[in-house]
């Protein structure tokens, strides 16, 4: 027996002696059973949203059958999930807006009429209420700020009407700006998301909601592995406001901002990274008493760093209208702090 074969035999003997089944890779993905265990716990809280829309406007045509078909109400399918108080269901705004009736189908075969509690105008989130007698198990929110690219996530929903469909993948990226709103902070995932998944939850491996599946990017009708979810920290804030007020009542600063790029910072001689450059002032800027000016770079908000304009907008939106915030500014080579009021977002 050659020395190589002898070494291999000794290694196999040692493995058998110590009960070794093979190499264990650090950071190996969860097993199918681990995902199945999470799904078994959370699936009863995921619901189907059936939305009836008004008839589509008839087209000018001589085909009476086509006109009759176009005069019928249109039903569409989305997803949602039970949160906090009994009877409250979270979903996307685009799933339920412009509807004439809404129904919620549960995993046990129940069907309930739902009412809209409130819809956010600036982000794609809505809150529904069904009969409190439907005591669905509620889900808990995880901390989406802690998500990292590469983490395993699970999506559950009703793609193309197939209820309780489960897909799994990873977080592809975080803080994605897809130009949907001034607050974009989307989680990108390769977990398959298709039409009908909108409003459904995205889970981490602890069974916590870390996002709401909302946007599908695909060249055709199906998933191409590029989906986007609203982060749970944003969800939780908006849903709390909708439950309490029926609207978000978000705050804002009366400014238009843009990202401070490395090239821009070098050209301006700015020794800071990130931040939000004030490009112009809005119509209510007179309420700032001249404390902020175009060209200022906001680097901190209430002593928290500002990495980009979208983060600044999110921070302002979470404060009560009429409250005040301290901004750290970089202006013409000087660092200063100013105290400014938080104004109401129009239409929020």
What are the residue numbers of the active site? 94, 124, 198
2 DSSP assignment: -
CA distance from start to end of the chain: 80
Nearest to 340 by CA among 289, 296, 278: 289
DSSP annotation string for 169-213: EEEEEEEE--SSSTT--EEEE-S---TT-TT-EEE-TTS-EEEEE
- Return d(Cα 176, Cα 178) in angstroms, integer: 6
- Return d(Cα 206, Cα 34) in angstroms, integer: 10
- Return d(Cα 322, Cα 228) in angstroms, integer: 33
- Return d(Cα 258, Cα 26) in angstroms, integer: 41
Long-range contacts of residues 288-291, Cβ cutoff 8 Å, at least 24 apart:
288/254, 288/340, 288/341, 291/338, 291/339, 291/340
Nearest to 165 by CA among 140, 125, 192, 185: 192
Residue carrying the six token digits 């404060």: 319
**How many Cα atoms sit within 13 Å of 124 on the Cβ side?**
23
Asked if residues 135 and 94 have their Cβ atoms less than 8 Å apart, the reply is no
- Return d(Cα 299, Cα 291) in angstroms, integer: 15
Nearest to 78 by CA among 68, 86, 89, 69: 89
Helices (H) and strands (E) in the chain, counts: 7, 20
């Amino acid at each position: 027996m050659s020395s190589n074969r002898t070494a291999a035999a000794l290694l196999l003997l040692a493995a058998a002696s110590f009960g070794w089944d093979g190499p264990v890779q650090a950071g190996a993905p969860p097993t199918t059973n681990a995902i199945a265990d999470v799904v078994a716990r959370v699936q009863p809280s995921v619901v189907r949203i059936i939305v009836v829309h008004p008839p589509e406007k008839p087209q000018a045509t001589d085909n009476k059958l086509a006109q009759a078909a176009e005069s019928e109400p249109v039903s569409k399918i989305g997803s949602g999930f039970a949160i906090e108080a009994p009877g409250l269901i979270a979903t996307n705004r685009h799933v339920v807006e412009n509807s004439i009736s809404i129904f919620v189908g549960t995993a046990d075969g129940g069907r309930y009429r739902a009412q809209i509690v409130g819809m956010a105008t600036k982000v794609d989130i809505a809150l529904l209420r069904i009969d409190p007698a439907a005591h669905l198990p509620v889900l808990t929110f995880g901390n989406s700020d802690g998500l990292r690219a590469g983490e395993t996530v699970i999506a559950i929903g009703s793609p193309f009407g197939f209820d309780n469909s489960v897909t799994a993948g990873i977080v592809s990226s975080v803080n994605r700006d897809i130009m949907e709103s001034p607050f974009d902070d989307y989680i990108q995932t390769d977990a398959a998301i298709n039409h009908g998944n909108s409003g459904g939850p995205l889970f981490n491996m602890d069974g916590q909601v870390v996002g709401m599946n909302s946007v599908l990017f695909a060249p055709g009708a199906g998933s191409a592995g590029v989906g986007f979810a609203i982060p749970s920290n944003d969800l939780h804030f908006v849903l709390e406001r909708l439950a309490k007020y029926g609207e978000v009542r978000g705050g804002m600063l009366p400014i238009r901002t843009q990202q401070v790029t490395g090239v821009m910072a070098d050209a301006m001689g700015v020794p800071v990274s990130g931040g939000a450059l004030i490009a112009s002032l809005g119509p209510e800027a007179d309420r700032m008493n001249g404390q902020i000016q175009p060209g200022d770079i906001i680097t901190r908000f209430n002593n928290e760093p500002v990495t980009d304009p979208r983060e600044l907008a999110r921070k302002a939106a979470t404060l009560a209208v009429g409250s005040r915030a301290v901004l750290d500014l970089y202006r013409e080579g000087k660092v200063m702090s100013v105290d400014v009021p938080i104004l109401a977002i129009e239409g929020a």
